[in-house]
Amino acid sequence: MTDTIIPSDAGPLVNVLALRSAGFAGQILTPEDANAYDAARAVFNGMFDRRPAAIARATTAADVVAALAFAQAHRHPIAILAGGHSVAGYSTIDEGLLIDLRPMKGIEIDPVGRRARVQAGVTWGEFDAAAQQHGLATTGGRMTTTGVAGFTLGSGSGWLERLHGLAADNLLSARVVTGDGRVLTASETEHPELFWGLRGGGGNFGVVTEFEFRLHAVGPTVFGGMVMYPRDRAPEVCRHFRDFMRDAPREIAAGLIFMHAPPAPFVPPELRGRPAVAILGAHWGSVDDGARVLAPLHEFGAPPVDVMGPIPYVELQAITDPGNPPGRRNYWRSELLSDLTDDAVDAFIACAASATSPASVMIMAPGGGAVADVPEDATALSGRSATWFYHCYGIWTDPAEDEQHIGWVRASEQALRPWTMTGMALNFMSDIDDTRIRHTFGAAKYERLVALKDEYDPGNLFRRNQNIRPSAAK
Ligand SMILES: Cc1cc2nc3c(=O)[nH]c(=O)nc-3n(C[C@H](O)[C@H](O)[C@H](O)COP(=O)(O)OP(=O)(O)OC[C@H]3O[C@@H](n4cnc5c(N)ncnc54)[C@H](O)[C@@H]3O)c2cc1C
């Protein structure tokens, strides 16, 4: 930590003493802090190697209030970092002040009331570990390192969603620091309009320092895991998966993943490193019920890779971690689908076959269930009637190859366009323009979000997000 005025070779100076005087008590890192600064500014997507003038590592809501006041007084642009998983690079910035919430790690589980209070720096791995000590969970990320904060504010799609809804649907209240320094609680009864907007409107209205969630009984051991086939079996595997999931009970979570088989001991040598298609599935009842109900997926076509069976919920939540290390280059698209016809399945298989990087992945998963139970107007999120959604992840390491891999993602998006419908996929999008944001929310919700923005952030201080532009900016 440095307590002097630091000239940043990246841009304007950040007056560290003035940040302290504003009441910021947490650690402050500048480029002078070499290794610690570099570690703190690194985000998941290796395409964003940005150099903030300073990183203010908040430990309390008071730190957030102080950092926001300081940034506004000194006209520093800001970025807010929680889990650092924004694939669009929103949570980092060149030259401005990065407010890093990761030191805010508080977690309180109320096992009787089945509620959790978590601070903004908590990841889903940390959340699940704490809640599972009581056999409880809420819908969380499909990777342990994703932040609770950005995930929930943008929707929060996870394996539990068909039974328990999105993370945003399980949010009971949020503590929010607004740009003018107010600390508010938003819930169905306090600032309900703000609460409506926080569930899908991202970080547009302030910094959420604490989230309160509803919890559900899950596990601790469930039946789940993965089966995998060589890619040439994709047509039959996809159709079987689609037909099974169409009528599957909401206690079943599942997704179809097009990937290259990892060089893991459980993969036969002839499949390692080869194009494959996998089904990842779980059941939220007893292990015996899960084995029985999942049998049609588990046993279909004698899969050459079968790692499905009793598994602790926390291990299931971490199952895709090893295949997704941080630091690689990522360019993503995701869309909701109104139906998964045979033509759509074939188009999806063709897109996966034309992937330009072996690290790239395509995922198809069913919507519906508890997500569709929530009325369309209850939150800012749109598209709850979608029956399927897909993700197309371009992933590679060499910057010289950017164009070809980005081109593949964009071409796949176009190829699948006939079956897509608009709605809540913004959390998974790499570059999102104003038109796409308006279209995703729909005109009526967008206007409602603009009214909230005008009330809570008329100067657009919080703009490194899926930005709702205030009226004054139009
Ligand atoms: C590897 C990987 C796996 C993923 N898996 C899933 C998944 O299973 N399901 C899913 O729905 N999404 C998933 N996502 C997408 C993810 O939900 C979004 O990228 C989300 O925004 C990440 O939240 P974060 O806190 O980690 O990110 P950050 O990059 O820290 O923040 C993301 C955005 O939220 C804002 N923000 C963060 N914290 C706050 C706060 N406390 N108050 C106000 N604004 C804030 C940031 O400014 C930024 O605009 C995944 C992303 C990655 C990279």
Q: Which two tokens stand for residue 280?
A: 């990842």
Q: Decide: residue 413, CB within 10 A, 0-12 exposed, 13-18 middle, 19+ buried.
A: middle
87 lines ligand 1 (CB under 6 A): yes
Assess whether pLDDT exceeds 80 at residue 9: no
> What is the 285 CA–ligand 1 centroid distance (Å)?
29
Answer yes or no: are the C-beta atoms of 140 and 171 closer than 8 Å: no
Assess whether pLDDT exceeds 50 at residue 4: no
Rg of the chain in Å (alpha carbons):
22
Closest approach atom of ligand 1 to CA 88: 19
Closest-CA residue, ligand 1 atom 37, reads: 150
Q: pLDDT (tens digit, 9 = 90+) per residue, 41-60?
A: 999 999 999 999 999 999 99
In 56-100, which residue ranges form alpha helices assigned H by DSSP? 61-73
User: Judging by DSSP bridges, how do beta strands 97-100 and 78-81 pair with one another?
Assistant: parallel
Q: pLDDT (tens digit, 9 = 90+) per residue, 110-151?
A: 999 999 999 999 999 999 999 999 999 999 999 999 999 999
In 74-212, which residue ranges form alpha helices assigned H by DSSP? 124-132, 148-154, 161-164, 192-198
| Mutate-to-test residue for ligand 1 from 151, 332, 424, highest number of ligand atoms within 8 A of CB | 151
Cα–Cα nearest to 211, from 254, 158, 151: 151
CA distances (Å), origin 38, targets 9, 30, 33, 41, 329: 14, 9, 8, 5, 18
pLDDT at 258: 98
168 lines ligand 1 (CB under 6 A): no
How far is 275 from 179, CA to CA, in rounded Å?
Answer: 48
85 lines ligand 1 (CB under 6 A): yes
Q: How confident is the model at residue 1 (pLDDT cuts 50, 70, 90)?
A: very low
> What is the 121 CA–ligand 1 centroid distance (Å)?
11
Mean pLDDT on 382-401: 97
Q: pLDDT (tens digit, 9 = 90+) per residue, 73-106?
A: 999 999 999 999 999 999 999 999 999 999 999 9
What does the H/E/C string look like for 415-471? HHHHHEECCCCHHHCCCCCHHHHHHHHCHHHHHHHHHHHHHHCCCCCCCCCCCCCCH
> What is the 235 CA–ligand 1 centroid distance (Å)?
33
Closest approach atom of ligand 1 to CA 79: 47
144 lines ligand 1 (CB under 6 A): no
| Mutate-to-test residue for ligand 1 from 45, 86, 333, highest number of ligand atoms within 8 A of CB | 86
Assess whether pLDDT exceeds 90 at residue 472: no
Cα–Cα nearest to 43, from 153, 184, 146, 122: 146
> What is the 164 CA–ligand 1 centroid distance (Å)?
20
Answer yes or no: are the C-beta atoms of 386 and 337 closer than 8 Å: yes
Cα–Cα nearest to 103, from 63, 49, 43: 63
How far is 122 from 106, CA to CA, in rounded Å?
Answer: 7
